[in-house]
Amino acid sequence: MIKNIIDTIKAKRKILILTHNNPDPDTIASAFGLKNLLCRLLQKRCTIAYHGIIGRAENRELVKQCNIELYPSTMLDFSRYDGLIVVDTQPTAGNVYIPKGFFPDIVIDHHNFREHTKLAKVYDVRQDYGSTSSIIVEYYKSLSLEFDQNTATALFYGIRTDTVGAGRHNNRIDLTMMSQVLPHISLRKLSKIETPELPKYYFKNIKSALDNSQIYESLIFCNLNEVRNADLIAETSDFFLRMRDIKWAFVIGKVDNMAFFSLRCKQTKRKVGMIALSIVKGIGTGGGHMKSAGGQIPIDRNTSYSNIVDEIKKRLIRKIKVKVSEPKNI
């Protein structure tokens, strides 16, 4: 597949690589690894762009430690680029900013395949992979390319965050790809990425989450209301899934005119990505993996945030079949 990508890019002059909105480590690392590959092999001028913010402290530290240059996509003129690549998402997923009149030449992802993706000249969507970073590592392996320290560290962390831990899914492929980059990483940089200093609002968010959570049998449902950034929602969901006797963690919050949610599950057989897709049908977009998922629902004058929360809660409880009873507080 990488040969098809190279053939498509050869004739291009300037390449724009798009991450998904509010980028996480996997999409950042995938874009960074692909940029370095194309620069080394084809001497192409590549720019990485994102929409939203890089909110999580670990993600900002990843960018800092690995010297990753990213630019807000709304500040760029897309017409100045003749090659467009989307990584770790797909054009109609609802979580990537692509201006009207533009469509990616190449799509690289590991989420559920979307029919619209077939319109790309080249697409490499591997649903059996736990992370897009694993796909990029395989490209390097097939081309016998060595990893520099920053690229290796970023890709290792990208795979790890998407595949290791509660609410994550991995397989032998991801573990093999991690072992490929492990000898080349900087343990010092990795340590700094994994344990950054946390801002005060992180702890204020945890307090708010504890105060605004309800437990329905094995489900913990948390409405954070207004949040500083969407990353806090996913972080809180990961935090709650560690609770004993909890199998499901659902966290929802509001950022500007959009409701974002994060869903986690300890059981792989439940196909959480498909559940996320079903509970937002007709009102928003969603998707994910076997044990983790997320989505977004636009808020307009006809739909209040509180109505969205009530509707999503009702759909979720019905879908995962927990008993509707008087909720318990933590």
Domains of the chain: 2-194 (3.90.1640.10), 201-320 (3.10.310.30)
Tokens 């972080």 belong to 235
Burial class for 8, CB neighbours closer than 10 Å (0-12, 13-18, 19+): middle
171 pLDDT band, cuts 50/70/90, is confident
d(CA 237, CA 250): 6
Residue-by-residue DSSP string for 42-94: H--EEEEEESS---SHHHHHHHHHTT---EEGGGS-GGG-SEEEEESS-TTSS
Residue 233: helix, strand or coil by DSSP?
helix
Q: Give pLDDT, residue 165.
A: 61
Q: Give pLDDT, residue 266.
A: 87
Edge-to-edge, what's the strand order for the sheet holding 258-265? 213-216, 219-226, 248-255, 258-265, 292-298, 285-288
The yes-or-no verdict on residue 120 having pLDDT over 90 is: yes
Q: Which of 250, 215, 49, 67 has the alpha carbon at shortest distance from 151?
A: 67
Q: Which two tokens stand for residue 130?
A: 């736990």
Q: In the chain, pLDDT over 70 holds for what percent of residues?
A: 97
Q: Give pLDDT, residue 168.
A: 59
166 pLDDT band, cuts 50/70/90, is very low
180 pLDDT band, cuts 50/70/90, is very high
Tokens 């560690």 belong to 242
Enter the pTM of the model: 0.86
Q: Give pLDDT, residue 290.
A: 67
- Tell me which of 229 and 252 has the higher pLDDT: 252
Q: For all residues of the chain together, what is the average pLDDT?
A: 92
Please give the average per-residue pLDDT across 292-299, as a whole number: 90
Helices of type H across the chain: 2-9, 25-42, 57-65, 132-143, 149-163, 172-181, 187-194, 200-211, 231-241, 272-279, 305-320
Judge contact between 259 and 308, C-beta under 8 A. yes
Q: Which two tokens stand for residue 27?
A: 């999409």
Cβ atoms within 10 Å, residue 110: 25
